[in-house]
Every structure is written in C-alpha cells, then in structure tokens.
Amino acid sequence: MPKKTGLTKGGTLRYDMMPLSPIARVTKVAISKRGGTIELPIWGQALKDELRAHFRDMRTLECEAFCEHTANEGSYVETDPDTKDRYGIPVVKMTIGILESNVKQARYMGERGAELFHAMGADEIRHGITGGMSWVLQHGTARFGKDPKSSVLDPNCRSHDVKNLYVVDGSFMPTSGGVPTTLTIMANALRVGAHMREAFVKKEL
Ligand SMILES: Cc1cc2nc3c(=O)[nH]c(=O)nc-3n(C[C@H](O)[C@H](O)[C@H](O)COP(=O)(O)OP(=O)(O)OC[C@H]3O[C@@H](n4cnc5c(N)ncnc54)[C@H](O)[C@@H]3O)c2cc1C
C-alpha cells in the first residue's frame, strides 16, 4: 500500500464478465446511471431503454473490491428488547458502525479497480460504494483467541465458556481481512473437525 495514501491496508480486486442472468443484471442497471456514480433507482421506460442498450449495444466487464470492515465499538450484536420470535425468544439485533478509514479504503480500491478499465479504453466506467459495507460477508461475532477476556472461542474454535460447544462458521474470524472468506471458513471447519476427532479419541470431549 503506497505511503502517501495514509491507508494501512488494501483489499482484493476481482474482475469478471457480468453474469448473463437478466435478473442479476437488472438489479445493477436499475440502480446505476451513466456518469460514474451510483444514483437513484430508475423505473419504467428509462429502465427498459437502459436494459435494451445494456444487452444489445454493450459488452460489460465488472470489478468487485473486497475491503476490510474493521471491528469497532459501533458494531455489535444484542438481543432485541422489542421483537420476539414465535417461541417468545428475543431476536438478534445487529448494529453496524462504519469507520471512515474503511470507507476511504473502499473508495481507494474502487478507483484502482477502475484504472484497468481506463487503460483498456472502456467507453463508460461507473463505480461506487454500496453504503461502505457488505451484508453478505459477516465475521467477528464469536471471534477466536487465547484470552477469554477478548475472545469467545479458543484457537480450536471451542467456546471458552460452554463446554463442548464448537463454532465453525464465519464468526470465528475477527474480520474478513479484505478477501471473500468462504474457502477459509470451509478449511477451518475441516481443521476443527480433525481437532474434535483427535480430542474424542483422547476422551477429551
Ligand atoms: C449473494 C451472496 C454472494 C456471495 N458471494 C460470495 C463469494 O463470491 N465468495 C465468498 O467467499 N463468499 C461469498 N458470499 C458469502 C458466503 O456465502 C458466506 O461468507 C458464507 O456462506 C458464510 O458461511 P457460514 O458458515 O458462516 O454461514 P452460512 O453459510 O450462512 O451458514 C449458516 C447455516 O446455518 C443455518 N441456520 C441458521 N439458523 C439456524 C438454526 N436456528 N438452526 C439450524 N440451522 C440454522 C442456515 O440455514 C445456514 O445453512 C456470498 C454471500 C451472498 C449472500
């Protein structure tokens, strides 16, 4: 990461052909307007015209930037005092705080991603930040670590507090680190599974 940016970390850029599925494309066309940034949704004839041009006249490449959402005091999970599920148990309420440094990082990555399209001589380049956060890559709600004061799980993803409870979803990672993490989640689940087997054989479970 160049020093002059003031950023400590970058992220991952993924280049791709846009998916052929019309529905996937409609959602992108419907929230985009020509001229660079994401604007208001478009509807009716304007949407039809955009879609017609999109499928008939254009070839589109996309770039997705994955950046880190650093753990911060404004991001936490609690039980909702007002809403209960059908069993009468309070539902989970998530509050998400975004650090300005993460937004800067996302903007920086978006601009770098667009540079390739400029170099390729693209006719039209649009980029934007989807609210500065993602709702599809969650981490950190049960992070792992050696110290029970600062972590929920031990290094083998076993709960510090609840005997024989293991957690192997994405929550064990404090953050994504700036990459899509599904393969890491799967690899970790296999690692924890091997540990559980070993512990079971030793009668430690
Ligand atoms: C549209 C979209 C695109 C994505 N694209 C990518 C990508 O390109 N690359 C990438 O790496 N990641 C991608 N992700 C993220 C990826 O899907 C998640 O990071 C990953 O699935 C998280 O795994 P997990 O095991 O933590 O949770 P999940 O996969 O959500 O698994 C949780 C499971 O628990 C079950 N469950 C929930 N409540 C209960 C309950 N009370 N009792 C029993 N079971 C329960 C759910 O049904 C679910 O099967 C994408 C996600 C979305 C939504």
141-162 pLDDT, tens digit per residue, is 899 999 999 999 999 999 999 9
Taking the CB of residue 21, how many other CB atoms lie within 10 A of it?
9
Residue 154 makes CB contacts below 8 A (sequence gap 6+) with 144, 145, 146, 160
Q: How many residues in total does the chain contain?
A: 205
**Residue 40's pLDDT band (boundaries 50, 70, 90)?**
low
- Cα of 141 to ligand 1 centre, how many Å? 14
Whether 131 shows a pLDDT value over 70: the answer reads no
- Cα of 137 to ligand 1 centre, how many Å? 8
pLDDT of residue 134: 66
Mean pLDDT over the full length of the chain: 86
- Cα of 56 to ligand 1 centre, how many Å? 35
Which residue's alpha carbon is at the smallest distance from atom 21 of ligand 1?
182
Cα distances from 135 to residues 96, 130, 132, 139, in angstroms, run 10, 10, 10, 10
Cα distance between residue 204 and residue 197, in whole Å: 10
Pairing of strands 11-17, 61-67: antiparallel
Spell 145-182 as b/e; 16+ CB within 10 A means b: eeeeeebbbeebbbbeeeeeebbbebbbbbbbebeebe
Give the number of the atom of ligand 1 that is nearest the alpha carbon of residue 135. 53
Cα distance between residue 70 and residue 102, in whole Å: 7
- Cα of 186 to ligand 1 centre, how many Å? 11
84-98 pLDDT, tens digit per residue, is 999 999 999 988 888
Which residue's alpha carbon is at the smallest distance from atom 34 of ligand 1?
169
Q: What is the pTM of this model?
A: 0.80
- Cα of 118 to ligand 1 centre, how many Å? 35
Give the number of the atom of ligand 1 that is nearest the alpha carbon of residue 168. 25
Lining residues, ligand 1, CB within 6 Å: 136-137, 169-170, 180-182, 185
Ordered alpha helix ranges (H), the chain? 22-31, 44-56, 100-120, 182-201
14 three-class SS: strand
pLDDT of residue 128: 75
Cα distance between residue 74 and residue 178, in whole Å: 19
